């Protein structure tokens, strides 16, 4: 017998899990999540640094962060599982006037959008937070005390466990191999299609109609082929992380998301830095670091990295990052590093480094929640909420969701975020 679901989510990382949670909490529980791995978290979620911050430059990223950080602060109570949110802050350190002007403009925007706790800090303030930092070339910076870290694995598991408690099903060890579409129902404009879907679903949720019917567009989702057989559904959520473009292609849709390797280096236990200090960002190089247990976690975005599914750690990266680390924090020259404990994972990059959230323009019933470009953990609460809103109601009160739709790349509405870590 063919399995059926109102919504099939492809990918059970932190994003797919959040979408499942938010759908279930909006009353849509006939949801099936498909994961090809035997365990959750084997994609980018399990490789993440776990940083969360509201210190962004574009309004949409600031809004997504604000919702998400507020959510992380109450996660344990609301979701019933721990997120391990630690509000240790993010400290941006500026070394030239351009950096200062950039931080000032960002802070004004953040303040206007309700993030009112970003503080200006002087080199003296910075030394108080991290006495070992070299500040001779630092002009100042910003510090937001509610930025910090979460445990990505715990957040993902919390979302999924809660969703499953509400009836969502999860199939592990099951690969999606194809997506079936019905060709050519009436091609109505996407705006009117979304409006009528929203109206139908609003009344469906109030018990007045068949749930989740969609209006006609170019082609229409009919089902999902998996290694465990066919699933009949009208709604598919692409939450396949760095592999999202190939999943989109299965339905005949284009998605500008490409994988980019990102590498992290933990030190062995190191007590020459404070037990508690913020994520520190050296704006002169992009090097940043935070405490992770007894050691320090070192991160740097290598500008020479090229796109591709490269998940092997490159040992030559260690020297590159240690040079930057020792230059900003001289005591780190004494830290020991075991290359076997370093790791690499994939960012899911879009051309403007913002997520793509919304319906596919040419495949009715296909939704993208992809391309987080390094922010998928911190934005997982907001992206799950916005995706669920769009699927069920065609709009979201959280953000003006149209700014994140995939049509922005063909319409020339690209967003510009320069605070990428
Ligand atoms: C080194 C590193 C550090 C990072 N640091 C941060 C950070 O500090 N803060 C932050 O917010 N973000 C960070 N990120 C980014 C963040 O980890 C990602 O944006 C986020 O995890 C994306 O989640 P996801 O659920 O979309 O993808 P994933 O976790 O990759 O999940 C996608 C899932 O889809 C499954 N899948 C794919 N194709 C199929 C198929 N055909 N059938 C079935 N299943 C399929 C995969 O197996 C996978 O489990 C970091 C990333 C890396 C690599």
CA dihedral angle for residue 45, residue 50, residue 51, residue 52, rounded to 10 degrees:
80
Q: How much distance in Å is there from the Cα of 244 to the middle of ligand 1? A: 10
CB-based burial label for 211 (10 Å; 0-12, 13-18, 19+) = middle
Q: Which atom of ligand 1 is nearest to the CA of 174?
A: 43
- Is the pLDDT at 271 greater than 80, yes or no? yes
Q: Where are the beta strands (DSSP E) in 137-257?
A: 140-144, 148-149, 169-171, 176-183, 219-226, 229-232, 236-238
Protein residue whose Cα sits closest to atom 33 of ligand 1: 11
Average pLDDT of the chain is: 92
Mean pLDDT throughout 379-401? 97
Q: How much distance in Å is there from the Cα of 15 to the middle of ligand 1? A: 8
Q: How much distance in Å is there from the Cα of 242 to the middle of ligand 1? A: 7
The CATH number that domain 90-145+259-347 falls under is 3.30.9.10
Protein residue whose Cα sits closest to atom 27 of ligand 1: 241
Q: Which atom of ligand 1 is nearest to the CA of 379?
A: 11
Yes or no: say if 354 and 61 are a contact pair by the CB < 8 Å rule.
yes
Determine the pLDDT at residue 4. Answer: 97
Condensed to tens digits (0 to 9), the pLDDT of residues 321-336 reads 999 999 999 999 999 9
Q: How much distance in Å is there from the Cα of 372 to the middle of ligand 1? A: 9
Q: How much distance in Å is there from the Cα of 293 to the middle of ligand 1? A: 23
Protein residue whose Cα sits closest to atom 53 of ligand 1: 345
Pocket perturbation via mutation, ligand 1, pick of 44, 155, 227, 349 by most ligand atoms within 8 A of CB = 44
- Is the pLDDT at 421 greater than 70, yes or no? no
Pocket perturbation via mutation, ligand 1, pick of 10, 32, 40, 49 by most ligand atoms within 8 A of CB = 49
**How is residue 357 written in tokens?**
């959230």
Determine the pLDDT at residue 203. Answer: 45
Q: How much distance in Å is there from the Cα of 3 to the middle of ligand 1? A: 27
- Is the pLDDT at 397 greater than 70, yes or no? yes
Q: How much distance in Å is there from the Cα of 376 to the middle of ligand 1? A: 7
Q: Which atom of ligand 1 is nearest to the CA of 375?
A: 11
- Is the pLDDT at 190 greater than 90, yes or no? no
CB within 8 Å of 92: residues ≥ 6 apart: 55, 99, 103, 141, 142, 143, 281, 283
**How is residue 339 written in tokens?**
């290359």
The CATH number that domain 3-47+153-256+352-411 falls under is 3.50.50.60
Q: How much distance in Å is there from the Cα of 189 to the middle of ligand 1? A: 33
Protein residue whose Cα sits closest to atom 15 of ligand 1: 374
Q: Categorize the per-residue pLDDT at 218 as very low, low, confident or very high, splitting at 50, 70 and 90.
A: confident
Yes or no: say if 26 and 165 are a contact pair by the CB < 8 Å rule.
no
Q: How much distance in Å is there from the Cα of 152 to the middle of ligand 1? A: 10
**How is residue 198 written in tokens?**
């929203």
Q: How much distance in Å is there from the Cα of 156 to the middle of ligand 1? A: 10
- Is the pLDDT at 184 greater than 90, yes or no? no
Closest of 177, 306, 301 to residue 230, by C-alpha: 177
Pocket perturbation via mutation, ligand 1, pick of 8, 10, 11, 175 by most ligand atoms within 8 A of CB = 11
Helices assigned H by DSSP within 180-258: 190-205, 244-250
- Is the pLDDT at 215 greater than 60, yes or no? no
- Is the pLDDT at 194 greater than 60, yes or no? no
- Is the pLDDT at 198 greater than 60, yes or no? no
Q: How much distance in Å is there from the Cα of 403 to the middle of ligand 1? A: 22
Q: How much distance in Å is there from the Cα of 349 to the middle of ligand 1? A: 11
Protein residue whose Cα sits closest to atom 16 of ligand 1: 376
Pocket perturbation via mutation, ligand 1, pick of 69, 179, 376, 384 by most ligand atoms within 8 A of CB = 376
For residue 348, the Cα-to-chain-centroid distance in whole angstroms is 9
- Is the pLDDT at 209 greater than 50, yes or no? no
Lining residues, ligand 1, CB within 6 Å: 10-16, 34-37, 42-45, 47-51, 175-176, 239-243, 247, 262, 264, 345-348, 372, 374-378
Mean pLDDT throughout 43-62? 97
Domain residue spans in the chain? 3-47+153-256+352-411, 90-145+259-347
Condensed to tens digits (0 to 9), the pLDDT of residues 245-263 reads 999 999 999 999 999 999 9
């Amino acid at each position: 017998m063919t399995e059926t679901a109102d919504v099939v989510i492809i990918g059970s990382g932190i994003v797919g899990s959040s979408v499942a949670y938010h759908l279930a909490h909006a009353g849509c529980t006939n949801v099936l999540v498909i994961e090809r791995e035997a365990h959750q978290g084997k994609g980018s979620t399990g490789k993440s640094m776990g940083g969360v911050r509201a210190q962004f430059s574009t309004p949409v990223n600031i809004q997504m962060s604000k919702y998400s950080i507020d959510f992380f602060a109450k996660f344990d109570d609301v979701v019933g599982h721990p997120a391990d949110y630690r509000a240790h802050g993010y400290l941006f350190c500026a070394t030239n006037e351009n950096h200062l002007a950039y931080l000032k403009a960002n802070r004004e925007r953040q303040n206007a959008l309700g993030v009112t706790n970003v503080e200006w800090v002087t080199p003296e303030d910075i030394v108080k937070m991290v006495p070992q930092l070299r500040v001779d070339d630092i002009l100042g910076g910003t510090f937001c005390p509610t930025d910090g870290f979460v445990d990505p694995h715990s957040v993902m598991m919390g979302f999924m466990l809660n969703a499953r408690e509400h009836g969502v099903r999860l199939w592990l060890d099951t690969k999606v191999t194809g997506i079936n579409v019905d060709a050519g129902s009436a091609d109505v404009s996407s705006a009117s299609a979304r409006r009528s879907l929203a109206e139908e679903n609003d009344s469906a949720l109030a018990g007045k109609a068949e749930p989740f019917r969609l209006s006609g567009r170019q082609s229409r989702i009919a089902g999902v082929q998996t290694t465990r057989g066919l699933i009949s559904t009208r709604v598919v959520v692409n939450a396949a992380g760095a592999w999202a473009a190939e999943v989109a292609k299965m339905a005949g849709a284009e998605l500008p998301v490409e994988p980019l390797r990102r590498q992290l280096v933990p030190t062995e236990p190191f007590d020459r830095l404070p037990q508690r200090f913020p994520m520190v960002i050296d704006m002169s190089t992009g090097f940043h670091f935070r405490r992770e247990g007894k050691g320090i976690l070192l991160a740097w975005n290598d500008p020479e990295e090229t796109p591709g599914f490269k998940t092997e750690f490159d040992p030559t990266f260690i020297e590159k990052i240690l040079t930057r680390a020792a230059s900003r924090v001289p005591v780190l020259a004494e830290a020991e590093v075991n290359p076997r404990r370093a790791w690499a994972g994939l960012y899911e990059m879009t051309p403007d480094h913002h997520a793509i959230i919304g319906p596919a323009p040419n495949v009715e019933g296909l939704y993208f929640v992809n391309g987080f470009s390094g922010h998928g953990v911190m934005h997982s609460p907001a992206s799950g909420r916005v995706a669920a809103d769009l699927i069920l109601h065609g709009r979201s009160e959280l953000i003006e969701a149209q700014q994140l739709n995939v049509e922005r790349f063909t319409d020339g509405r690209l967003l510009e975020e320069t605070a990428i870590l």
